[in-house]
Amino acid sequence: MKKILVTGAAGFIGFHLAEALLKRGDQVTGLDVINNYYDVNLKYARLEETGIKKNNIKYNKIVNSEKYDQYSFIKLDLTDSKSIDDLFNNNKYDVVVNLSAQAGVRYSLENPRAYIDSNIVGFLNILEECRHHGVKHLVYASSSSVYGNNTKMPLSTSDNVDHPISLYAASKKSNELMAHTYSHLFKIPTTGLRFFTVYGPWGRPDMALFLFTKAILEGKPIKVFNNGKMIRDFTYVDDIVQGIINVIDNPSKVYKGDEPDASRSKSAPYKVYNIGNSSPVNLMDYISEIEHALNMKAIKNFLPIQPGDVPKTFADVSDLQNDLNYKPDTNIKVGIRNFVEWYKGYFIL
């Protein structure tokens, strides 16, 4: 049993991860600011699933789960350094999984300061707490967005990622650089995970699957960007969670080989992995699967590609497969069906 802090625990991936860790017997503290980037009721509903009652949640107050004896939750802003420091002073965590971030490529064009506050200042506070409180492993969310307009496929962690095309991507690349610095100076094992288009039940309302499902059921047009000529490495959330758990249990080490690449270090216990399905899908085929699961046809509004977006992603996950036996095995037919069943149960039934 490990004592683990999961930030972003009211979020999509954080919720699924916290529940999986609890089911295997770990002691977990969930942390989230519960901001209004999207519907806070969905965030509270996720927390309710793990026994955290909305009416008990107050800022900077520990709330114990009514479902899992070993789960507690605290509403905190990662930029609140004093409160974060108090939390770490009162708890000795073995592992920190930092999934808190201001998400969204397009939103970063409208609200850039939110990304600096949450993704840079907040992450610095996490690094400082790991430094001063003997955390044995920091796992943190990066993003496939760091690859920018790279065209060589599949995208590999050995590729150059020095040309981000959104502030969101730049903030995630900054996290990787900051983590390496702290790994090098203070020997904190850090592992970054570049997520590739995660989807599934309890997903984010700003993601394509959620938007498409909602619009189709309401008889409204869906926005199909780049005229449908998009390819994404859609990755089911259960596969992502299993990959994260494998990483949690295997802290990064100083690289001892002869030919390190950008994802490893010979001076620090540091590693960056791609975590995706490694089986890219054409957006139009993805939409067809949604139509099939709903037994309804979409009204399609074809539009140009959006600023900051990329036409294709395809993850090279060979490092994660070779190092930690990562094996994503959920195809989009199953994954989309599971999401649609959840969506109907949550919003309609």
* Catalytic sites, residue numbers: 168
Tell me the three-class secondary structure of the chain, residue by residue. Answer: CCEEEEECCCCHHHHHHHHHHHHCCCEEEEEECCCCCCCHHHHHHHHHHCCCCHHHCCECCEEECCCCCCEEEEECCCCCHHHHHHHHHCCCCCEEEECCCCCCCCHHHHCHHHHHHHHHHHHHHHHHHHHHCCCCEEEEEEEHHHHCCCCCCCECCCCCCCCCCCHHHHHHHHHHHHHHHHHHHHCCCEEEEEECCEECCCCCCCCHHHHHHHHHHCCCEEEEHHHHCCEECCEEHHHHHHHHHHHHCCCCCECCCCCCCCCECCCCEEEEEEECCCCCEEHHHHHHHHHHHHCCCCEEEECCCCCCCCCECCECCHHHHHHHCCCCCCCHHHHHHHHHHHHHHHHCC
